[in-house]
Structure 1
């Protein structure tokens, strides 16, 4: 008899973790071996339990988000497959996750059978994209951006403190958590974030996460 597909579910909502666990455990070839409420916990449980698949949510406030956790996990345990399960129909996040090494991308409004099928596909080291995600990729190639990549833009040098703030933002820490860690006020953190975005010519947090990945802020 073949062994079951071992799965970890990472989502900040307890009711979603419980519902997905019940759904998945009804399948004879699958078993949820753990759940996690944020990316940090998912990373730690995955290293400990060595699952076949981690079902990863995107936003898991106030803890580490799914994108930065995916980056860290694929570096530390490349054999673990990541299936992104999110509410976000966002082309930018889709490509960030694929760049980070995720094997699948599916929306939370998908049918139960689609999720089960996606788990089986990625567990076999194949890629799965929901129809919505596939459409976003097609649109990307049909309408490529003419803008220069961020890496070609001359970046201003960040201060020592700003370099400390970048990885904390990228890992999903809140302003209050960053303030507590650095022993500064929340207003100071907000000022640092504003300066960082201005200096790096970034507009969104997803772009900042991408910058942090490319420049080694999340390696440690």
Structure 2
């Protein structure tokens, strides 16, 4: 069973999320929290596998709660939720340690799938959505002018660099394989190497690193 804790400051939303997850035979909702501080406290007692975390909450917001859980309970993986697709707090949550992000208007099936994905340790973030989020974040404050990729870590092979670039511009594994005429399993092997050399945990953090390094620029696809 995947033990899930739901954190949202709106009782109706908490109940709705619980009802969506309830039919899944391998998911059990073990608790509900009304703010980030309560989420951290309950997670400490209940040790959930996944915390479905609203980003904007009183007392302690979802970003702060995610950072605290990543520090104290790394086995409790966070799936962040937000009302708005273009929300700078989403990037902050991913950087704080969230394993994924979904807008609140996703379908029940997408939410259940994301819980399963996050539970396995993968990032549950749609590539195109993640790219738009990072682009908005960079345009809003990180860089006002294009920056040369001077911060790219040493040791990446040309093929790894190209795969990282394609990942950051919204390509999934199948699209990367098609673009480079290689197999999906080869893409996965290269990504494992990329993540290790970047010192990142998953696709979400790799995309953030690509924008922060200057490998890709906000608002345009690389060629």
> Could you say which TM-score interval applies, normalised by the shorter chain?
0.5 to 0.7
Quote the RMSD (CA, aligned, Å): 2.4
User: Are residues 1:135 and 2:131 paired?
Assistant: yes
Q: State the shift of 1:22 in Å.
A: 1.5
Residue in 1 that maps onto 2:12: 15
What do residues 2-39 of structure 1 show as CA deviations (whole Å, max 9, x unaligned)?
Answer: xx100000001111111111111111010000000000
Residue in 1 that maps onto 2:120: 124
Q: Contact 1:83 / 1:104 at 8 angstroms: preserved in 2? A: yes
Matched residues in 2 for 1:60 and 1:40: separation?
Answer: 9
Secondary structure class of the residue paired with 2:52: strand
User: Are residues 1:94 and 2:90 paired?
Assistant: yes
Residue in 1 that maps onto 2:57: 60
User: Are residues 1:6 and 2:31 paired?
Assistant: no
Q: How does 1:103-122 map to 2 (within 5 A)?
A: 103-122=99-118
Matched residues in 2 for 1:96 and 1:141: separation?
Answer: 9
Matched residues in 2 for 1:84 and 1:141: separation?
Answer: 17
Matched residues in 2 for 1:13 and 1:142: separation?
Answer: 30
Residue in 1 that maps onto 2:143: 145
Segments of 4+ moved more than 3 angstroms: 137-144
Structure 2 residue aligned with 1:26, among 23, 28, 31? 23
Q: Contact 1:9 / 1:35 at 8 angstroms: preserved in 2? A: yes
Q: Contact 2:100 / 2:118 at 8 angstroms: preserved in 1? A: yes
Q: State the shift of 1:131 in Å.
A: 5.6
Matched residues in 2 for 1:147 and 1:138: separation?
Answer: 15
TM-score of the aligned structures, taking structure 1 as reference length? 0.60
TM-score of the aligned structures, taking structure 2 as reference length? 0.59
Matched residues in 1 for 2:105 and 2:126: separation?
Answer: 11
Q: Contact 2:80 / 2:102 at 8 angstroms: preserved in 1? A: yes
Q: State the shift of 1:133 in Å.
A: 2.8
Matched residues in 1 for 2:73 and 2:134: separation?
Answer: 30
Q: State the shift of 1:137 in Å.
A: 4.9
Q: Contact 1:56 / 1:83 at 8 angstroms: preserved in 2? A: yes
- CA gap of 1:112–1:131, structure 2 versus 1, over 3 A, is farther
Long gaps (5+) in structure 1: 149-220
Aligned length: 144
Q: Contact 1:70 / 1:101 at 8 angstroms: preserved in 2? A: yes
Matched residues in 1 for 2:55 and 2:62: separation?
Answer: 4
